[in-house]
């Protein structure tokens, strides 16, 4: 069964100048289409400003589409918006949306009241949710005393309070420490055991690879690729990734390496005081000497080959920071 069916969805914004006159029209979401099976965890990936959050806002009835259509569990997002709101929920990354001077339990009770859930049913459901998100032992403490990861768990709990069929999670692990993010990913997996359909956005490609059954990549408002994580990785199957960690490389040397005929793409990541040059190569034989000749006056800490990942496929699709 198809839980979410998006068909040529479009959202335009009209920008005005300081005098209130129409300056230009901006298309944030441009004719996108995809489907999510019931009980599936679907990833919507893309750079900042690609249209992910705008898409979620339309699917959760917070924004009207300019064109196209979408159905949630058979209900149209425009014609049946009230029905849809009863069977969906969502959470956005960040601290906003909770009442810090209330306890975690009281926050969930407050949102249960907004859905007119009878108190006896709400209390039972809240207890179940608190166990699911591993907050039952801290439920009666004020939210202001929670860590960021604990607040995000309460956000997930809030999104479950109306027992939704479809949940939208917009960057739920954003800014969390590794332990907190791991705990939240464990909770997200549990949602599938409850037969929830989940749409997830994230900038962490390993997270998408770990959690998502299907992925769509969006750039400049358009979906440019979709499929299973392993299908997307095949885009870089014929490449090798060479990582070179250096200290103090300048732009001229980077440009010299980029121009080498066996280099498909080059990325530079700054990690503390060093730079990691990622080279996407057509071939690997007899190349080290040519690269090291360019790096002859640069301090090189480590050189290693590795297999391409989903992140490498994503970079190939959307481009990256080619410093």
**232-270: pLDDT as tens digits:** 999 888 788 899 999 989 999 999 999 988 888 888 988
**Domain 2-228 annotated CATH 3.40.30.10:** no
Q: How many CB atoms lie within 10 A of CB 211?
A: 21
For the chain, the structural domain boundaries read 2-228, 238-307
| pLDDT higher than 90, residue 160 | yes
Largest CA distance in the chain: 73
Q: Please give the pLDDT value at position 320.
A: 60
182: DSSP letter: H
| pLDDT higher than 90, residue 16 | no
Q: Please give the pLDDT value at position 7.
A: 98
pLDDT in tens, 96-124: 789 999 999 999 999 999 999 999 999 99
Phi/psi at 101 (nearest 5 deg)?
Answer: -85, -5
Q: Please give the pLDDT value at position 272.
A: 84
How far does CA 86 lie from the centroid of its chain?
Answer: 24
Burial of residue 235 (number of CB atoms within 10 Å: 0-12, 13-18, 19+):
middle
Phi/psi at 139 (nearest 5 deg)?
Answer: -65, -25
Residue 119 pairs in a beta bridge with: none
**167 or 304, greater pLDDT:** 167
The tokens describing 97, both together, are 């949306």
Q: Which CATH class is domain 238-307?
A: alpha beta
Q: How many CB atoms lie within 10 A of CB 5?
A: 16
Least confident of 48-62, 115-129, 272-286: 272-286
Q: Please give the pLDDT value at position 289.
A: 87
Q: Please give the pLDDT value at position 308.
A: 86
Q: What is the band of 322 on the pLDDT scale with cuts at 50, 70, 90?
A: very low
What's the predicted TM-score (pTM) here? Answer: 0.86
Q: Please give the pLDDT value at position 25.
A: 84
| pLDDT higher than 60, residue 17 | yes
Q: Mean pLDDT across the chain, nearest whole number?
A: 92
Task: Tell me if residue 6 falls in helix, strand or coil.
Answer: strand
Q: Rounded to whole angstroms, what are the CA distances from 53 to 56, 136, 149?
A: 5, 31, 21
């Amino acid at each position: 069964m198809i839980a979410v069916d998006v068909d040529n969805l479009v959202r335009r914004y009209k920008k005005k100048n300081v005098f209130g006159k129409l300056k230009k029209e901006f298309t944030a979401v441009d004719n996108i289409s995809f489907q999510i099976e019931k009980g599936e965890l679907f990833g919507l990936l893309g750079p900042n400003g690609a249209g992910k959050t705008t898409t979620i806002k339309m699917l959760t009835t917070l924004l009207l589409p300019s064109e196209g259509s979408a159905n949630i569990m058979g209900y149209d997002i425009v014609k049946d918006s009230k029905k849809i709101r009863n069977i969906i929920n969502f959470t956005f990354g960040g601290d906003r949306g909770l009442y810090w001077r209330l306890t975690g339990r009281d926050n969930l009770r407050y949102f249960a009241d907004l859905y007119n859930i009878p108190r006896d049913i709400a209390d039972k459901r809240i207890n179940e949710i608190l166990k699911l998100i591993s907050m039952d032992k801290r439920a009666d403490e004020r939210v202001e005393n929670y860590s960021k990861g604990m607040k995000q768990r309460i956000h997930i709990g809030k999104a479950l309070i109306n027992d939704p069929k479809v949940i939208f999670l917009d960057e739920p692990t954003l800014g969390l420490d590794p332990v907190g993010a791991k705990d939240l990913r464990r909770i997200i997996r549990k949602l599938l055991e409850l037969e929830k359909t989940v749409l997830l956005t994230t900038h962490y490609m390993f997270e998408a690879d770990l959690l998502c059954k299907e992925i769509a990549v969006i750039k400049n408002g358009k979906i440019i690729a979709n499929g299973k994580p392993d299908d997307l990785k095949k885009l870089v199957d014929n490449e090798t990734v060479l990582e070179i960690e250096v200290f103090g490389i300048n732009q001229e040397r980077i440009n010299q390496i980029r121009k080498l005929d066996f280099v498909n793409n080059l990325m530079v990541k700054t990690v503390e005081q060093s730079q990691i040059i990622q080279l996407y190569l057509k071939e690997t034989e007899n190349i080290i000497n040519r690269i090291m000749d360019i790096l002859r006056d640069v301090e090189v800490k480590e050189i290693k080959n590795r297999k391409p990942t989903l992140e490498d496929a994503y970079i190939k699709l959307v481009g990256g920071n080619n410093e």
